[in-house]
Copies of this chain bind each other. A is one copy, B any other.
């Protein structure tokens, strides 16, 4: 299940990508427009800034802006920052690999084999969609 954090984060990024102007976009505006609790959105924006997707301007007339072009922001990267691993089990995760407690040999594991396929397909979708796609060109 996608967390609200990720969902809100994606919506906020999309909102910023769509907003044409060169003035930064404010949390309050996004929050109202997208029905996202403002304080919650604050913490999400902070995460997105710290992980290099957004830049910010403080103080009056401050706000957030994209650092890269929407076409260069892959959904797989955003998801990893907000949601964590893309794989459904740590033992098939490329970026967050962990061995399973219960599996003596993961190459023998039926779940492992299935989850690799799921991961590859999900990854394909998330890598081929960028923020530009989400923002509708």
Give me the interface of A with B, judged by CB distance under 8 Å.
1-2, 7, 10-11, 14, 34-36, 75, 84-85, 88-89, 101-104, 109-111, 113-115, 117-118, 121-122, 124-126, 129, 133-136
Known: A1-B85, A35-B101. A11 touches B111 (CB 8 A): yes
Binding site secondary structure of chain A: helix
Check B35–A102 contact: CB distance below 8 A. yes
**Whole-angstrom distance from the CB of A86 to the nearest CB of chain B?**
10
Contact present for B89 and A11 (CB under 8 Å): no
On whether the beta carbons of B85 and A114 are closer than 8 Å, the reply is: no
The answer on a CB contact under 8 Å between A2 and B89 is yes
Give CA–CA (A124, B1) in the complex, Å.
Answer: 18
